[in-house]
A and B are shown apart, each in its own frame.
Chain A
Amino acid sequence: NAGVTQTPKFRILKIGQSMTLQCAQDMNHNYMYWYRQDPGMGLKLIYYSVGAGITDKGEVPNGYNVSRSTTEDFPLRLELAAPSQTSVYFCASVGLLPRFTEAFFGQGTRLTVV
């Protein structure tokens, strides 16, 4: 059981470049989330999804886009990367009641924008 898989683990981008962070879960979870964690700080919610075709903004959505075409995948797109987007990005998933127990997290993607 792979759980939540994020790729890549590390990436360096130049200012203005774009990239997609991939997130996939194999637990048939409905809810998926993208967070960013700046050094020494907590997790801030970027976007979340309650199911295929449904997404919503979190606290810090500017500069990012998401899509959810399948239950398994929830990619995060960065357009026109800026140094302020240097952070560690986490994807998480949660199952619906009564299967819900906890949030499962990916290993994180460390992104540096130079």
Chain B
Amino acid sequence: AQTVTQSQPEMSVQEAETVTLSCTYDTSENNYYLFWYKQPPSRQMILVIRQEAYKQQNATENRFSVNFQKAAKSFSLKISDSQLGDTAMYFCAFMKRRIQGAQKLVFGQGTRLTINP
């Protein structure tokens, strides 16, 4: 069974600083997707960034980038020039890449990130 672990329950940084959130996962699959979702106080789940395991290049979306280390099964999220609006719960998630058949979308425990003014 796949598991996703986020070892940092809470983090806090000053506005404009850079912060890195950690995520490790356990799987025997070779093809899969990894995600970072943001959950602000509104509870809405918002996709931040997505990585496909067969792509070696790390995904980037504006101020958000990942460090994907497939062999180490590590998928960290870096937020550059952090903003007050980045304050939220962040979840790492895993899903197998399959054409058909059952597949679960598995989440980590979450990291509560606070950006201080």
Give chain A's interface residues, CB within 8 Å of chain B. Answer: 31, 33, 35, 40-43, 45, 48, 50, 56, 58, 88, 90, 92, 94, 96-97, 100-103, 105, 107-108
Binding site secondary structure of chain B: loop
Q: Does B107 contact A (CB under 8 A)?
A: yes
How many of chain B's residues have a CB under 8 angstroms from any CB in A?
26
Name the CB-closest residue of B to A103.
B105
Assess whether A43 is in contact with B107, with CB atoms less than 8 Å apart. Answer: yes
Q: Which residues of B contact A58 (CB under 8 A)?
A: 104
A94 contacts B105, CB within 8 Å? yes
Docked-complex contact B50 and A101, CB < 8 angstroms: yes
Given A96-B100, A102-B50, A107 and B43 contact (CB-CB distance below 8 Å): yes
Q: Give A97 to B98 CA distance when docked, in angstroms.
A: 7
Assembled-state Cα–Cα distance A2/B81 (Å): 33
